[in-house]
Amino acid sequence: MRWLVARRGFWARLGAIIVKEVLQLGRDRLTFAMMFGMPIMQLLLFGYAIDTDPHRLPTAVIAADQSQITRTVLSALANTGYMSFTHRPVSEEEANALLQRGEVQFVVTIPSDFTRRLVRGERAQILIDADATDPMAAANPLAAAGPAINQALARDFVGPLAGLRDRPDAVELVVQRRYNPEGKSRLNIVPGLLAVILTMTMVMMTALAVTRERERGTMENLLAMPVRPIEVMIGKIVPYIAIGSVQVIVILLVSWLLFDVVIEGSIPLLSAGTALFITVNLAIGFTISTLTQNQLQAMQASFFMMLPSILLSGFMFPFRGMPVWAQWLGEALPATHFMRIVRGVMLKGADLGDVSAPLVALVAMLLIVSTLAISRYKVTLD
Amino acid sequence: MTPTPAALAPPTLAIDVHDLVKRYGPRTVVDHFSLAVERGRICGFLGPNGSGKTTTLRMICGLLTPDGGSGTCLGHDLVRHRERIKRETGYMTQKFGLYEDLTIRENLEFVGRVYGLDRLKQRVDQSLDRLGLTTRQSQLAGALSGGWKQRLSLAACVLHEPRLLLLDEPTAGVDPKARRAFWDEIHSYAAQGITVLVSTHYMDEAERCHEIAYIAYGELMARGAALDIIRHSGLSAFVATGPGADRLAIRLRDAPGVTAAAAFGATLHVCGPDREALMRAIEPFGNDPAIVWQEAEPTLEDIFIHLMGTARDNAPGA
C-alpha cells in the first residue's frame, strides 16, 4: 500500500491547501469584490475627514544661549500646553535623528546670539523644526508659539529693555515643517489607512476561513486526513498574503493618482514591513478562528481587534494626544507599529535603522501569535 | 521492529480495540467498548441515536483521544500512531465533509494532494469514471443530490486506497436505489480486501453486512452475524394477519410480556423475551376467527428494540 503513495510530504500537502483556498476564494465573488471595493471606499471617506488637537508633544531643545530671556521663551512655549521638553540634544544632527525616528514632534533651537541680538534691538530668531507628517498634530502648537513668546517677553521687558515692549515682533519665529511642508493631512491619512484596511480585511478573512470549515462540517473531514496544523495554517494564510499585497498596491496607486502621495523612502523596506504586518494580521485572524466556534463569533472578535486599531493606533487621533493608558494599549497593536513604519518610510524617507524598533515589535508579535495559534489548533476533535 | 502490542496483535484483525472509554464532562458516551473486526469484513455498526457510534468511529480513526482503553487499528496504536492510521484509513463523516464550493473534480484532487498521491490526474479520472460522474466533473459538489454526495464522499475516501473504511451513517437520507448502488460499492471494496466498519440505522443494510455490532448507551450489546444474532436472541415472535390485525398494535404494545408490537401494513408483528408470557398477552385476541396468528422468527429490529429497552440508560435524553 505504502508504495502507492508518492514520497512527497509537506510541500504536496501545503500545495493542496493553497490550491484549494485559492479556488474557494475565487468562488466567493462577493467577498472578493468587497476586498477591493472596501479599501477604495474607506480611502475616499477617511481621506477627507479627520481632525484633532493633541497637547504636551515631546520636544527637543537646543539652547545655545542661556539667559533669563531664553528661560522665559522656553517656559512660554511650555505654557502653551502643546510642548513638553523631553530631550536636550547637544547637536543639530542628534536633534534631526530624534525627529526622524519620531521620538520628538518638535525641535526648538535658540541660537547663541539670541539674547544679545534681542537686547540690541536687532532681529532675534528662534527656529522650530516640526514633524509635520501629521499636520493636525503640528498646526496648533506652531500657531500658538509666536504670540505666546512675545506676550511672555513683554512682561520681562522692564527697565532698560522697556523700549522693546512696543515691538510685537521682537522675536522672529522661523518654522520649518519637515516631511510635509504643505501640511496636507491626506499625506498622513493615506499611510495610516494602509494599516487600518489591512487589519480589517486580513484579520477577518482568515478568522472566517477556519471557522467556516468548522461550521460547514468540513473540518472533521480535513482532520481525518493526514494534514498537519502548520500546513493548514500556512496554506490558509498564503493566498491572503497575495491578496493583501494587491490591496497595498491598489491603495498606493490610488493615493498617488488622487492625492499625490509619493513614497520618499525605500520601497523594498516598505514592502518588507508591509509583508510582515500582513502576516501578523493573518496569524491573529487564524488565532481568532481557533478561539471561536462559528463565523459570527469570529466576525465579532475581528471587530474587537479592528476598532482599537483604528482608534488607538495613531490613525484617527495623533498617538501622543492619547492618555498614557491608551498609548500602552496602542503599543500592543500591530497597526500602531506598522503605522510608524509606513509614515517613517513613506513620508520621512526613514531607513532600516530608523524603523527597527517597530519592526522588532512586529516580529515579536508574530512569534507570540503564531505560537498561540498552533498550540490552539487541534488535530483531534477533543 | 520492537515487539509492541501492535506487532503482537493477531495480524488478521483490522480493528482491535479494548475497553475504550470517552467522557464528556460527567457523561460517559462510550463505556468500556471492545471490538475486533477481521480484515476484509463488512461490520455493521448499529445502535440508537446518541449511543456513541460516531464517538467510537472517531476514536478508531484518531480524531478523538480515548479517555481509557487501548487498541490497534491496522496494527497501529490508536493514540501513538494516529498519523499512520489516518494515512491508511478512509473516514466518511456523517455530514457531507467535502467542499460544496469546489467542483467534484477539485474536491477529489484536493483529497489526492493531501495524501500526496502520485498519478493524481489518472486516479481522479478513474475515480470519476467509476462513479459515472466524468461528464459532471466541473459541477459544484454542493449541487449534487444527497445520494450522489454520499457516493462522491465514498470515492474521496478510497482515493488513497485505504485498507480500512469507517463510514458514519453513509446512507442516511439517501433513496433506495442510491443506497443499493452505495452498498454494491462497499461490497466491491470488501472483495478487494478492504475492511469496512459502517454505522447505519437501516435493518436491510445491517443484513447486508458480514457481521453486526450493536451498541446502546456506549456499551456493546450484541455482536455476530445477523442470522446468529437472530438465532441466539432468545426472543419469540408472532405475526397476526387478517382484517384489523394491524389495529391491535396499540392495545398490545404495553401488555406485559410484549417488547414490541408493530404494524407492518395489514399485518401485526409482536415479540417478547418470554414465549409463555407473550402467548398469554395475545390470547385475548386469539378468538377472532378473522385473524390468524403464526409464530415467526424475530427480526433484527425486534432484537434491537429489545436490547435498547434492557440497556442501562445512563444518559437520559441522549
Judged by a CB distance cut-off of 8 A, whether residue B114 touches chain A is yes
A2 part of a folded domain: no
Taking alpha carbons only, the member of A201, A207, A264 closest to residue A40 is: A201
> Count of domains in chain B?
2
pLDDT in the model for residue A8: 63
List all residues 6 or more positions away from B163 whose beta carbon is below 8 Å from its beta carbon: A1, B14, B39, B74, B88, B89, B193, B194, B195
* Full domain range(s) for residue B265: 234-297
CA of A19: how far to CAs of A28, A236, B109, B110, B236, in Å? 15, 10, 10, 8, 59
Please answer whether residues B39 and B196 qualify as being in contact, where contact means their C-beta atoms are separated by less than 8 angstroms: no
A215 part of a folded domain: yes
A-B contacts at Cβ under 8 angstroms = 95
* pLDDT in single tens digits along all 318 residues of chain B: 444 444 454 568 999 999 999 999 898 999 999 999 999 999 999 988 888 899 999 999 988 999 999 999 999 999 899 989 999 999 999 999 999 999 999 999 999 999 999 999 999 999 999 888 899 999 999 999 988 999 999 999 999 999 999 999 999 888 999 899 999 999 999 999 999 999 998 888 998 999 999 998 888 888 999 889 988 888 999 998 888 888 888 888 888 888 888 888 888 889 988 889 888 888 888 778 888 888 998 888 888 888 887 765 444 443
Q: Hunting for cell 457510534 — which residue is that?
A: B53
* Residues A125, A234 within the same domain: no
Tens digits of residue pLDDT in A184-229 = 666 777 878 888 889 888 898 888 888 888 888 898 899 889 888 7
Judged by a CB distance cut-off of 8 A, whether residue A221 touches chain B is yes
Q: Do B87 and A217 touch (CB under 8 A)?
A: no
pLDDT in the model for residue A116: 85
| Chosen domain end from A127, A154, A178 | A178
* Residues B184, B218 within the same domain: yes
* Residues B195, B47 within the same domain: yes
pLDDT in the model for residue A303: 79
B302 part of a folded domain: no
| Chosen domain end from B176, B202, B229 | B229
Please answer whether residues B249 and B256 qualify as being in contact, where contact means their C-beta atoms are separated by less than 8 angstroms: no
A285 part of a folded domain: yes
Q: What's the gap in Å between the CA of B209 and the closest CA on chain A?
A: 24
* Residues A293, A334 within the same domain: yes
| Residue in B83, B99, B114 closest to A24 by CB | B99
B68 beta partners: B21
Contacts of B61 in chain A (CB under 8 A): 224
Q: What is the dihedral of CA B218, B220, B225, B230, to 10 degrees?
A: -100
Taking alpha carbons only, the member of A140, A125, A135, A131 closest to residue A174 is: A125
Contacts of A5 in chain B (CB under 8 A): 87, 115-118, 160
Looking at the predicted structure, is the pLDDT value of residue A301 above 60? yes
Helix (H, G, I), strand (E, B) or coil at A92: helix
Amino acid at site B33 = F
pLDDT in the model for residue A163: 66
A213 part of a folded domain: yes
The radius of gyration of chain B from alpha carbons, rounded to an integer in Å, stands at 22
Beta strand pairing call for B195-199 and B42-46: parallel
Q: What's the gap in Å between the CA of A299 and the closest CA on chain B?
A: 21
B318 part of a folded domain: no
DSSP class of B103: B
Cβ burial A309-348 (10 Å sphere, 16+ → b, else e): bbbbbbbbbbbbbbeeeeeebbeebbbbbbbbbbbbbbbb
Contacts of B102 in chain A (CB under 8 A): 20, 23-24, 27
Q: Do A27 and B101 touch (CB under 8 A)?
A: yes
* Residues A362, A222 within the same domain: yes
Q: Round to whole Å and give the CA distance between B281 and B182.
A: 42
Contacts of A30 in chain B (CB under 8 A): none
Least confident of A84-88, A167-171, A320-324: A167-171
Q: Do A13 and B114 touch (CB under 8 A)?
A: yes
Sign of CA dihedral A82, A88, A90, A94: negative
Could you tell me the CATH number of the domain that includes residue B86? 3.40.50.300
Amino acid at site A52 = T
The set of cell numbers assigned to A12 is 504536496
* Residues B46, B150 within the same domain: yes
Beta strand pairing call for A83-87 and A57-63: parallel
Q: What is the dihedral of CA B76, B78, B83, B84, to 10 degrees?
A: 20
* Residues A340, A223 within the same domain: yes
Please answer whether residues A134 and A188 qualify as being in contact, where contact means their C-beta atoms are separated by less than 8 angstroms: yes
* Residues A189, A107 within the same domain: no
Judged by a CB distance cut-off of 8 A, whether residue B88 touches chain A is yes
The set of cell numbers assigned to A155 is 512682561
Tens digits of residue pLDDT in A318-360 = 777 777 777 888 899 999 999 999 988 888 888 888 889 999 9
* Residues B187, B264 within the same domain: no
Q: Round to whole Å and give the CA distance between B191 and A144.
A: 91
A154 part of a folded domain: yes
CA atoms within 13 A on the CB side of A358: 31
Taking alpha carbons only, the member of A112, A110, A108 closest to residue A142 is: A108
> Count of domains in chain A?
2
| Chosen domain end from B206, B229, B252 | B229
B310 part of a folded domain: no
Please answer whether residues A99 and A89 qualify as being in contact, where contact means their C-beta atoms are separated by less than 8 angstroms: no
B16 part of a folded domain: no
| Residue in B63, B109, B116 closest to A5 by CB | B116
Beta strands in chain B (DSSP E): 13-24, 27-38, 42-46, 68-73, 76-77, 89-92, 164-168, 195-199, 211-216, 219-224, 236-241, 260-264, 267-272, 292-296
The set of cell numbers assigned to B57 is 468511529
List all residues 6 or more positions away from B177 whose beta carbon is below 8 Å from its beta carbon: B147
* Residues A235, A292 within the same domain: yes
Taking alpha carbons only, the member of A259, A377, A319, A303 closest to residue A105 is: A319
Please answer whether residues A175 and A108 qualify as being in contact, where contact means their C-beta atoms are separated by less than 8 angstroms: no
Please answer whether residues B83 and A225 qualify as being in contact, where contact means their C-beta atoms are separated by less than 8 angstroms: no
* Residues A165, A251 within the same domain: no
* Residues A110, A154 within the same domain: yes
CA of B62: how far to CAs of A17, B71, B160, B170, B223, in Å? 21, 11, 17, 19, 23
Judged by a CB distance cut-off of 8 A, whether residue A29 touches chain B is no
A289 part of a folded domain: yes
| Chosen domain end from A159, A178, A197 | A178
* Full domain range(s) for residue A361: 10-49+185-376
B11 part of a folded domain: no
B162 part of a folded domain: yes
Q: Do A226 and B86 touch (CB under 8 A)?
A: yes
Please answer whether residues B236 and B295 qualify as being in contact, where contact means their C-beta atoms are separated by less than 8 angstroms: yes
Q: What's the gap in Å between the CA of A375 and the closest CA on chain B?
A: 17
- Residue A173: in which H helix or E strand, if any? strand A171-178
Q: Hunting for cell 442516511 — which residue is that?
A: B172
Q: Do B118 and A6 touch (CB under 8 A)?
A: yes
| Chosen domain end from A178, A200, A218 | A178
B305 part of a folded domain: no
Please answer whether residues A247 and A274 qualify as being in contact, where contact means their C-beta atoms are separated by less than 8 angstroms: no
* Residues B58, B87 within the same domain: yes
* Residues A36, A99 within the same domain: no
Contacts of A208 in chain B (CB under 8 A): none
Q: What's the gap in Å between the CA of B146 and the closest CA on chain A?
A: 15
Query: In 10 A of CB A252, how many CB atoms?
Result: 20
Please answer whether residues B184 and B151 qualify as being in contact, where contact means their C-beta atoms are separated by less than 8 angstroms: no
Max intra-chain CA distance, chain A: 105
| Residue in A13, A221, A380 closest to B113 by CB | A13
Q: What's the gap in Å between the CA of B281 and the closest CA on chain A?
A: 48
Query: In 10 A of CB A99, how many CB atoms?
Result: 21
Please answer whether residues B214 and B202 qualify as being in contact, where contact means their C-beta atoms are separated by less than 8 angstroms: no
* Residues B129, B192 within the same domain: yes
* Residues B86, B169 within the same domain: yes
A3 part of a folded domain: no
Closest chain A residue to B160, measured at CA: A5
Q: What is the dihedral of CA B201, B204, B210, B213, to 10 degrees?
A: 30
Least confident of A9-23, A158-172, B165-179, B287-301: A158-172
Contacts of A226 in chain B (CB under 8 A): 83, 86-87, 114-115
* Residues A361, A215 within the same domain: yes
Q: Do B101 and A7 touch (CB under 8 A)?
A: no
* Residues B44, B185 within the same domain: yes
Amino acid at site A352 = L
* Residues B253, B173 within the same domain: no
* Residues A237, A173 within the same domain: no
A5 part of a folded domain: no
| Chosen domain end from B207, B229, B251 | B229
* Residues B162, B263 within the same domain: no
Q: What is the mean pLDDT of residues A163-169?
A: 65
Residue B92, phi-psi category: left (phi > 0), alpha (psi -120 to 50), beta (remainder): beta
Q: Round to whole Å and give the CA distance between A155 and A164.
A: 11
Cross-sheet strand order for the sheet of A57-63: A83-87, A57-63, A106-110, A124-131, A171-178
Q: What's the gap in Å between the CA of A227 and the closest CA on chain B?
A: 7
Amino acid at site B23 = R
Could you tell me the CATH number of the domain that includes residue A115? 3.40.1710.10
pLDDT greater at residue A69 or residue B18: B18
pLDDT in the model for residue A93: 87
Least confident of A257-271, A359-373, B87-101: A257-271
* Residues B149, B44 within the same domain: yes
* Residues B116, B156 within the same domain: yes
CA angle A261, A266, A269 (to 5 degrees): 110
Sign of CA dihedral A196, A199, A204, A206: positive
Looking at the predicted structure, is the pLDDT value of residue A255 above 90? no
Q: Round to whole Å and give the CA distance between B307 and B235.
A: 11
* Residues A159, A76 within the same domain: yes
Mean pLDDT, rounded, of chain A: 82
Q: Hunting for cell 501640511 — which residue is that?
A: A183
Amino acid at site B177 = K
DSSP class of B169: S
Helix (H, G, I), strand (E, B) or coil at B282: helix
pLDDT in the model for residue B6: 47
Contacts of B65 in chain A (CB under 8 A): 380, 382
pLDDT in the model for residue A326: 77
B182 part of a folded domain: yes
